[in-house]
Amino acid sequence: MKIPFRNIAKNLTGISTPVFGVSWQPTENELDVVRKLLVFLEDRRALYNPYDIEMPEYVDRSIIEIRLELTEILKNLDKDSGISPHLRAMRAACRKFLNQTTSRHRHSYYRRENADFFAALGKLRAIFGIQIAQLCVKYGVDIEEELATILPIPDDEK
């Protein structure tokens, strides 16, 4: 089930993002790039699977694939593209995650040192959630429910 970008926009507070269709229209190329990126990320279970079923070695591979995809997209974008800062933030999060976690050998899922791995994965997911939410709102794109689980939590206290 798709989560409409308008629902995502309601949950973003304190983030300066122009809302699609209000005062700015994205180019068709940028809109197409965002759609393709989100379809790619919707299939990256490392971003949203429950932690208790994640296998560190498979997560590492997935994060490497995400980083490579982001780099390929960036190579083909105009240097002034509105998408670039979001992609660069996600790519930097991938690098940071891999730098923090891949130096350790993780042979057993339940080892104590995996706590650092899952903390780093949580940080990566948080950064991706913010960037994805901003892209969805900025470009008026809906996303699948599973990927939407990493979006910022709405502040229901008013």
Tens digit of each residue's pLDDT (9 = 90 or more) over 60-92: 999 999 999 999 999 999 888 999 999 999 999
Distance CA 57, CA 44 (A): 14
In the block, tokens 């994965």 appear at 121
Which range has the top average pLDDT, 46-60, 84-98, 112-126?
Answer: 84-98
pLDDT-derived band at 31 (thresholds 50, 70, 90) equals very high
Confidence at residue 15, expressed as pLDDT on a 0 to 100 scale: 46
Angle between helices 84-101 and 56-76 (to 10 degrees): 150
User: Quick check: 106 pLDDT over 70?
Assistant: no
Instruction: Tell me, yes or no, whether 154 lies in a domain.
Output: no
Instruction: Tell me, yes or no, whether 156 lies in a domain.
Output: no
Instruction: Tell me, yes or no, whether 101 lies in a domain.
Output: yes
Residue closest to 90 by CA, chosen among 34, 145, 50, 139: 34
Give the domain range for residue 62. 2-148
Q: pTM above the 0.85 mark? A: no
Instruction: Tell me, yes or no, whether 79 lies in a domain.
Output: yes
Instruction: Tell me, yes or no, whether 112 lies in a domain.
Output: yes
Instruction: Tell me, yes or no, whether 153 lies in a domain.
Output: no
Number of folded domains that form the chain: 1
Instruction: Tell me, yes or no, whether 155 lies in a domain.
Output: no
Distance CA 141, CA 8 (A): 10
Residue closest to 12 by CA, chosen among 132, 131, 133, 129: 133
Distance CA 34, CA 17 (A): 15
The set of residues, in sequence order, having a beta carbon less than 8 Å from that of 129 and lying 6+ positions away, is 150, 151, 152
Contact present, 132 and 15 (Cβ < 8 Å): no
pLDDT tens digits, residue range 122-133? 999 999 999 999
Torsion of CA 81, 42, 125, 10, to 10 degrees: 70
Instruction: Tell me, yes or no, whether 158 lies in a domain.
Output: no
Quote the mean pLDDT of the chain: 83
